[in-house]
Amino acid sequence: MNIGEAARASGLPAKTLRYYEAIGLVVPAHRQPNGYRDYSETDVRRLRFVQRARSLGFSVAECRELLALYADRGRTSAEVRRIALARIAAIERKLRELEGMRRALLHLVERCSGDSRPDCPILDDLAGEDDDQGAA
Amino acid sequence: MNIGEAARASGLPAKTLRYYEAIGLVVPAHRQPNGYRDYSETDVRRLRFVQRARSLGFSVAECRELLALYADRGRTSAEVRRIALARIAAIERKLRELEGMRRALLHLVERCSGDSRPDCPILDDLAGEDDDQGAA
DNA sequence: CCTTGACCTTCCCGTCGCGGGAAGGACCAT
DNA sequence: ATGGTCCTTCCCGCGACGGGAAGGTCAAGG
């Protein structure tokens, strides 16, 4: 199977397939006589596996681990679970960070009139104004 | 003021200050006779401004716009507000994406025994198994 | 005077996960 | 022969820096 077909079958761009080969993540076993990459059904399964894992937020390094476990009959589900839990923890850290930003930005936007005047509490806050005008 | 002092005063690494100079974001006006960068109080204010904006999730490009508006007496708060709303929208897109991943991963982890056996619904899902065993 | 150490300079490479595009070969149909 | 579509390798670019080499500068101490 040509790289184009494998790309369509896996839902990944051909560029990505070449990249995955370059980093040794999914390497098609053979080349056709004309030098074209030759992807097998198994290769495509691995590519789809990676595509799904990536869409769940796993890094390429984690995909490599997961693929290894997938291929390892002696694996334990505890190993897989550990990786997934680590990913969840990382996602939750990021969620908290983004939620903090969102809260702060919403607070600022709320107080900004957004009209034609130059006065802007958003810029004031970024400038680190230390006014205590609300103390009355 | 040396780069080290400016770094401490702004809460940014010296490397970042050099980077901001290289991309023309915050460029100290002068050099000392020995070739050292010379940051003014105004430079440090700009650096702190960028540091705060970055911590709110603004890209360096957005920081550039915000700095320009900050310096522009003819600005309107509507312009600033527009940038902040765009950032909020981007953050919320990312939040939704991460929440989707989190939900999917939690669902998978929940069903994984995480013991010494190799059977793992997480890997099964990534492999794209099409079993409809739950249809009973 | 010399050394030590802390600071500064420029420069270039690495990160992560690819995308864009050039230059050229291969294949298929007309 | 020609055109169009595929494929190949190669190298550069992103964002926002961090690491580290090689070397200049400065203040303190022996």
Residues B125 and B65 in one domain: no
Residues B12 and B69 in one domain: yes
Tens-place pLDDT, residues B33-49: 999 999 999 999 999 99
CATH code for the domain in which residue B47 is found: 1.10.1660.10
Q: From residues 15-74 of A, list those within 7 angstroms of strand D by Cβ.
A: 18, 35-37
A103 part of contact set with chain B, CB < 8 Å: no
Residues A67 and A104 in one domain: no
Residue A135, pLDDT > 50, answer no
> Quick check: A37 and A3 in contact, CB under 8 A?
yes
Tens-place pLDDT, residues B53-77: 999 999 999 999 999 999 999 999 9
Residues A97 and A65 in one domain: no
Q: Do A102 and B92 touch (CB under 8 A)?
A: yes
Residue A130, pLDDT > 80, answer no
Q: How many domains, chain B?
A: 2
Residue A114 is assigned to a structural domain of this protein: yes
Residues B103 and B66 in one domain: no
Residues B63 and B99 in one domain: no
Residues B96 and B42 in one domain: no
Residues B66 and B96 in one domain: no
Tens-place pLDDT, residues A26-47: 999 999 999 999 999 999 999 9
Residues A55 and A109 in one domain: no
